[in-house]
Each structure stands twice: as C-alpha cells, then as structure tokens.
Amino acid sequence: MSDHDRVPVPSGTLARRLAEERLTRRRFLGRLAAVGAGGAMVPLLAACGAGATASPTAAPTATATGTPGPTTSSPSAEPTPAPTPEGELYVYNYADYIGEDAIPSFEKKYGVKVTYDPFDTYETMTAKISGGNSGYDVTFATSVDVPGFLARNLVQPLDLSLIPNRVNLAPEWQDPGYDPGNKSSMPYMWWTTGFAYDTEKIKEELTSWAALWDARWKGKMAMLDDYREAFGAALIRLGYSVNTTSDAELDEALALLQEQKPLLRTYTTDDIGVLSSGDVWLSHAWGSDVYQVVAERPSVKYVIPAEGGIRGSDAMVLLAGAKHPVAANLFINHMLDAQVSAANTNFIGYMGPNAAAREFIDPAILDDPTVNPDKAAIEKLQELLDLGPDLQKYQERWTKLRAGA
C-alpha cells in the first residue's frame, strides 16, 4: 500500500566515503575477507573516523562480535542457551536493501546458508505470500501492512527469547501501534516523505505543499505513484489527517488532486530518476531517495513542508509456514545488532530505529536532515495507519483520479 515503493538506496554513502578515502572497493572487500566479518567493522570505522567529528568509542567491542559463541554485553547480545538453527534461511527483500556484510557475518556466525532473493516489487511479494506459503522465511513488510498480515495469518509471532537485541531499539520503537510489543515484527528502517526541487531551476525557496500545485511549474512536476502518499499530500495540505475515513474530506482531497493532474509531467515511483535526469524540477519524494539524487545533482534540495509530511517504516517479519524459524529469529536478532544495524544504515542510507547503533552510524548520515530529520521536523510528520476496509475509499478515488481524463 504505502511507502513500499520507496527506493532502497544502494552504496551511495559507502561509495562516496570510499571515493573520499581513495579506498577501492576491491581492497575494502579484501580487507573484509581478511579480517573476518565482525572485525571488518574496524577498517570501516577507521575510514569513517578520518573525516568524522565523533569517533566511535565502542570500537573495541566490535572485534568481539565476529567470534561465534557467547558474547560480551550489548550492543550485541546472544540468546542463551545457544540455539541450533536450521542449515538454511530464505530471505525475501528488495535488492541491496541490506548492508553488504549483514548476511556474510550471519552465515559465518551460525553456519547457516542464506538465500537472499529480491522481489521485483513489494506488491509481488504481498501477492505471493497471500497464498500462505511462499517458501520464504523472512521478509520485510511495510509497517502499515503488518496488522493485515497478522490478521490473515500470513506471518507468525516471533520467538522473543531468540531476539535479545531488541533492547537496542529506541524507546519509541519498543511498542509501536501497528504491532504492540513487537511480538510479530521488528522494525527495520524508517523514512519521511516530503518533496524535493532543483534549486538551480527554481530560484525561490519552497516550503509548502502548495508548490506542487503551482502552475508556474506546469509540466515539470511529478507526484509519487502511490495512492496513500498522494492522498496524504493533499490531505495534509487541507489540514486533515492522512488516515481520515471521512468521505467529505476524501472528496476534497480528490478534487485537489484532480486540479493538480494536468500540471504534472508524470506519476512515478522512480523519484530518484526523474529528479536526477532533470526532466522534473519539483517532485513529491521520499527523503532517503533524495539523498541519492544529490549525489547526481547536488542542486536538489529536500523539504519536509511546513504543513507536515509522512513518516513510514518497515519491519522484518517471520512468514507463516517458514521452514527455518530458528534461523529466521536469529537472523532478525542479528539485524538488530548495533553494528549490523549501523552498517545497514551506512550502506543503504536509511535511518534505523536502533538507538544502540547510533554511535556506529556514519556522521554524514546523522547530520543529514533528509535522512535523519531533527525532532522539530519529526513532530510535523504523520504516520500512515492500516485502515482496514476503509482503504477502499482511497483506492476507488485513486482509480478515478488516474483513470479519468
């Protein structure tokens, strides 16, 4: 439904850092291999340390995590007694939406062979698991979808005794509305939605959603091809909740979107592409995507509008019918490890919910308001909630909007 089409960011950050340190990818991978999974964090941290202001003081514990068996204290707790996982694990996720070393380090630690398959679109994944037995163990669901998956028994509760790392989660993530107590899911990454524009083409400062309705930019604008995001933008502009189920409010939002449609160049899920190519000067966009655009086109700026924006997140879930539940739980625990989580963030450029990971995250990301907005900005964000059967009200209007002349 919503946010699932946000673009996982590939090694944008990593590539930039590597370029800066003049460390070739091959040499880096070589180091990874030589030093071993956990210990590999050390050269990464050293590279970060060269240009960073805050140096990770917890670096010494990094070496401990790579070794199998009982660990030191957090940030990487291991379940005790040490469990025996199955020999394999099947993970289903976006391509490259995971740190480069997350899986190899997991494989090494537990001797489990992981098959990581990418789905072509998030919707294909939901369609496949709807059957109840997709063959996969773990997947990454947008948090809005988690209640629905639970109700339809497509996912099963986690074995929390195998996931001690959950203490690493920031307090606001310990008991989310979509899954109280994180009993059946563990948060993975979060992001924001606002808009971005090319400051070279648009010389004034834009701060309001109204910019996307400005006829001066006719033919140079794009909206996200996602009905909850699009309606969200209109609803926020009208001052309503993005989770409203009022027909009157939704009709107003539809009218607004219909006004906008002739001004748009396109509806897209490739906000990175349209902004990078320069065909579009102003686009509805996901913050972490804009982080990528800036690498190609530095004049692009991301804005969380004054009226507010949207915050989304996804979560790791254990699929019903999973053949390797122990390995799956351990994998989820592994992803909540402070260093693994930080490495994921550093690689894909999205912020995680992991408080313990913050000290290992690339300061460039921590400082970047597109990926890591400050508290004031976060206050303005609304979170999309599961609307159950009322979702049809949005879908019908979206179809009307897109299909209409």
Among 80, 207, 241, 277, binds other proteins (CB under 8 A): 277
Q: How far apart are CA 356 and CA 338, in angstroms?
A: 5
The residues facing 228 across adjacent strands are none
**279 is an interface residue for other proteins by CB under 8 A:** yes
Give the length of the chain: 405
The DSSP code for 170 is -
Give the Cβ contact number of residue 352 at 10 Å: 26
Please report whether residue 15 would count as binding other proteins according to CB under 8 A.
Answer: yes
Among 51, 68, 111, 118, binds other proteins (CB under 8 A): 118
The stretch near other proteins (CB under 8 A) out of 75-83, 130-138, 155-163, 375-383 is 130-138
What's the token pair of residue 164? 């001690």
> Any bridge partners for residue 90, and if so which?
115
267 binding other proteins? (CB under 8 A): yes
Structure tokens at 316: 């790791």
Could you tell me the two tokens for 224? Answer: 């996200």
Residue ranges of alpha helices (H) inside 169-298 are: 227-238, 247-260, 271-277, 287-296
Cβ of 155: how many Cβ atoms within 10 Å?
27
Residue 389 interacting with other proteins (CB under 8 A) = yes
Does 272 contact other proteins by CB under 8 A?
Answer: yes
Q: Please report whether residue 1 would count as binding other proteins according to CB under 8 A.
A: yes
Q: How far is the CB of 290 from other proteins (least distance, A)?
A: 13
Q: Is 177 in the site for other proteins (CB under 8 A)?
A: no
Shortest CA distance to 317 belongs to which of 109, 79, 195, 158? 158
Of 9-17, 103-111, 203-211, 241-249, which segment contacts other proteins by CB under 8 A? Answer: 9-17
383 three-class SS: strand
Using CB under 8 A, pick the residue from 44, 61, 94, 317 that binds other proteins.
94
Binding site for other proteins (CB under 8 A): 1, 5, 7-12, 15, 90, 94-97, 115-121, 123-124, 126-128, 130-136, 148-149, 151-152, 219, 223, 226-227, 261-262, 264-267, 269-270, 272-273, 276-279, 292, 295-296, 388-389, 391-392, 395, 398-400, 402-405
